[in-house]
Amino acid sequence: MKHYLLSVVTPSEGEPPSPEALEQIMRNVDGFHQELQQAGARVFAGGLSSPTTATVVRAKDGDTMLTDGPYIEGKEYLGGLCIIKAPDPDAALDWGRKAARAITLPIEVRPFEGEAEG
């Protein structure tokens, strides 16, 4: 089986969900993760802290330089991810649809390079 990355596309601006709505979303996400686990498709999943917590490490002249904050500013950021196993792109897209319904945010589905399908 091939591995796919399901990326949670999170808006940088706008109002976050209410506590009640967030509680329901988290229940839906837990159910989605349980379904992945039961199907043997879950490899890893997790949410990420805000981009403001990031540190960028750059190699320069044989040394490394650290910079606080996100590397680029954008209207969206990677808010979470899930790595799954799926037999083909259509199956991965089905998992992406389920994730989008659970999380209520756009989900980008991308295959890992260099892995054979099937």
- Dump pLDDT digits (tens) for 47-89: 999 898 999 899 999 999 999 987 777 899 999 999 999 999 9
Q: What is the pTM of this model?
A: 0.89
Q: Determine, yes or no, domain membership for 20.
A: no
Q: Determine, yes or no, domain membership for 59.
A: yes
- Confidence (pLDDT) at 65: 93
Q: Determine, yes or no, domain membership for 23.
A: no
Q: Determine, yes or no, domain membership for 99.
A: yes
Q: Determine, yes or no, domain membership for 90.
A: yes
Q: What CATH number should be reported for the domain holding residue 45?
A: 3.30.70.1060
**Residue type present at position 8:** V
- Dump pLDDT digits (tens) for 22-49: 999 999 999 999 999 999 999 999 999 9
- The yes-or-no verdict on residue 118 having pLDDT over 70 is no
- Residue 88 contacts residue 26 (beta carbons within 8 Å): no
∠ CA 35-38-41, rounded to 5°:
80
- The yes-or-no verdict on residue 105 having pLDDT over 60 is yes
36: containing domain:
2-13+28-111
Q: Determine, yes or no, domain membership for 101.
A: yes
32 is written with which tokens? 């989605």
Number of domains in the chain: 1
In terms of residues, how long is the chain? 118
